[in-house]
Structure 1
Amino acid sequence: MKRLAIVLSVLALAACDRQPEGQPIVRTQLGDAVPTENAPDASPTDAPEDAPQVVSACSDVTFENIPLTHCVADPAQHRIVTRLGEAGSGPFRSLAAFADTVDKNTIAFAMNAGMYGDDIKPIGYYVEDGERLKELNRADGPGNFHMKPNGVFYGTGGSWSVLSADRFFSSVRDRPNFGTQSGPMLVIDGKLHPDFQDDGPSRAVRNGVGVSADGKAHFVISNASISFGQFARYFRDELKTPNALFLDGNVSSLWDPATNRLDRGLIGPMIVVTRREVAE
């Protein structure tokens, strides 16, 4: 019994290590009164022994001593859509609620897709299945979303891009099939956001997206608190994405069915990456 108590104590301490640390500045204007807990659900799911093994699109990496999870969407293998909720039912509010509505075998991974207001709806540009539900937000204001330049992640078919909001406004004429606005930009034309320090005091669990020269979309979520400078450098220096966009912090969540990871917490819009060979 003494040995069992020691094991349980160690497990409890390990679980505590997954909680966000520091005093991040994110989402101060977006309903911070609602507490969130995004520790991944690491418990394995029972499956038949002869079930096919699905290779995850995500992998764990370490950058500047910070653990990250890096997920890749390949246009040759995946489709990307945005999802907020089911028609007539309001927003899903969590990845777990969304997971209950789909066949997980069709899902490569899903992640929160940007900032939202008290109604859990996007505060910036948002397009789902070609329908624009929120116009581009170019207003000034407080918080990370308004740390200009902010930007838009968008695409149609297998063509995906990240652009600053101003460039998106001036150059994109056709409505994409999906789109989500957030901020700030992490990388702009190969340079870090001008307001970032190398390793500033704002620390949070964060996620973002960038598109590399080969057209692949790279989604990254930190598994510990990280500064904006560190997070942006990973996209610029390791992933070589000329433009990258911060999606959110503290509420950052990932669902990876292949590894049974399902982070729990309140989110608004989400990005869903599906497998082409299953969806078609």
Structure 2
Amino acid sequence: MRRALAIIAALWLAPTSALACTQVVFDGAPFTSCRIDLQQTELRLFLRDQAGAIYGGFAPIDAALAPGKRLGMAMNAGMFHPDRAPVGLYIEDGIEQMRIVTRAGPGNFGLLPNGVLCLTQARAQIIESRAFAAAPPPCRDATQSGPMLVIDGALHPRFLPESDSRNLRNGVGVDASGQIVHLVISDAPVNFHHFARFFRDHLGLSQALYFDGRVSRLYAPEIGRADIGLPVGPIIGTVIDAAVDGAASGG
């Protein structure tokens, strides 16, 4: 009885509202969406370990965190070259590791407008890349990717409802307050138009950014998910208290 009450108390006290991954069907396709409250949960970008080697996956990041901390949830966070270095702007802990790229180019990254996810201690912004370059805000962490999915409430102008280009896709959206971040992955192949509409029409977001397709992966232990695949470049993830997390799970 005491153990049951302790578990109930832990669940009540744990910051479960700060991170919640849900699986939903939108317009006939399944999606997993993770809502992160930056007032309660730390969200960071990860690329290289202390030796300079690119992490490439979720397990090495989890193992590298400070004692008492663990990776809460994570996904790949931006396009990368064959050596897994970021294609565009990348900032981690205030240090710029790759400059911003504002020119149009081949592939999804160069399908302008693209954008930058900028993270500070308790706020997030998605900013069109050329606007970012003209007036860079102070970002603790930042990753550039493309294309933008939703721009001031409008879908990217190049997206076609009838497009037959379908992939597993993942991306990020930020609410108007800058305090709530939504990390989303499609659990079945969808086109850009469908994926962008999930952010705008289902989540009600005015700004959203594409991360990648095909290589898209999600780590979300709270729903029993740890996708595997080839190594990736930048990764975004929450850092949580392992002791609180263990208490909440009854472990």
Q: TM-score range by the shorter chain?
A: 0.7 to 0.9
- 1:85 is paired with a residue whose SS is coil
| Aligned CA distance change for structure 1 residues 278 and 239 (closer, same or farther; 3 Å) | farther
Mapped pair 1:75 → 2:52:
no
Q: What letter matches 1:85 in structure 2?
A: R
Mapped pair 1:159 → 2:127:
no
TM-score, length of structure 1 as denominator length: 0.76
Q: Give RMSD over aligned pairs.
A: 2.4
Partner of 1:273: 238
Q: Structure 2: which 5+ residue stretches go unaligned?
A: 245-251
Mapped pair 1:112 → 2:57:
no
Task: Provide the C-alpha distance between the structure 2 equivalents of 1:278 and 1:127, rounded to a whole number of angstroms.
Answer: 29
Partner of 1:219: 183
| 1:1-280 pair list within 5 angstroms | 55=16, 57-102=20-65, 106-174=70-138, 176-214=139-177, 215-265=179-229, 266-275=231-240
| Aligned CA distance change for structure 1 residues 257 and 172 (closer, same or farther; 3 Å) | same
Task: State the Cα deviation string for residues 66-115 of structure 1 (Å, max 9, x = none).
Answer: 11000011022111111012022411112233233346963331110000
Partner of 2:247: none
| Aligned CA distance change for structure 1 residues 63 and 105 (closer, same or farther; 3 Å) | farther
Q: Percent identity?
A: 37
- 1:231 is paired with a residue whose SS is helix
Task: Looking at secondary structure, tell me which structure has more strand per residue.
Answer: 2
| Aligned CA distance change for structure 1 residues 253 and 212 (closer, same or farther; 3 Å) | same
- 2:35 is paired with a residue whose SS is strand
Q: Structure 1: which 5+ residue stretches go unaligned?
A: 1-48
| Shift of residue 173, structure 1, vs aligned partner | 4.0
| Aligned CA distance change for structure 1 residues 142 and 182 (closer, same or farther; 3 Å) | same
| Shift of residue 210, structure 1, vs aligned partner | 0.8
- 1:57 is paired with a residue whose SS is strand
Task: Provide the C-alpha distance between the structure 2 equivalents of 1:234 and 1:151, rounded to a whole number of angstroms.
Answer: 18
| Aligned CA distance change for structure 1 residues 237 and 253 (closer, same or farther; 3 Å) | same
Count of equivalent residues:
231
| Shift of residue 234, structure 1, vs aligned partner | 0.8
| Shift of residue 259, structure 1, vs aligned partner | 2.6
Task: Provide the C-alpha distance between the structure 1 equivalents of 2:69 and 2:190, rounded to a whole number of angstroms.
Answer: 32
> Is 2:62–2:71's contact at 8 Å kept on the other side of the alignment?
no
Task: Provide the C-alpha distance between the structure 2 equivalents of 1:110 and 1:182, rounded to a whole number of angstroms.
Answer: 17
Compare 257-266 and 65-74 and name the one that shifted more. 257-266
TM-score, length of structure 2 as denominator length: 0.84
> Is 2:119–2:125's contact at 8 Å kept on the other side of the alignment?
yes
| Aligned CA distance change for structure 1 residues 170 and 226 (closer, same or farther; 3 Å) | same
- 2:199 is paired with a residue whose SS is helix
Task: Provide the C-alpha distance between the structure 2 equivalents of 1:278 and 1:155, rounded to a whole number of angstroms.
Answer: 25
Task: State the Cα deviation string for residues 107-158 of structure 1 (Å, max 9, x = none).
Answer: 3311100000011110100001111101101123210000000100012111
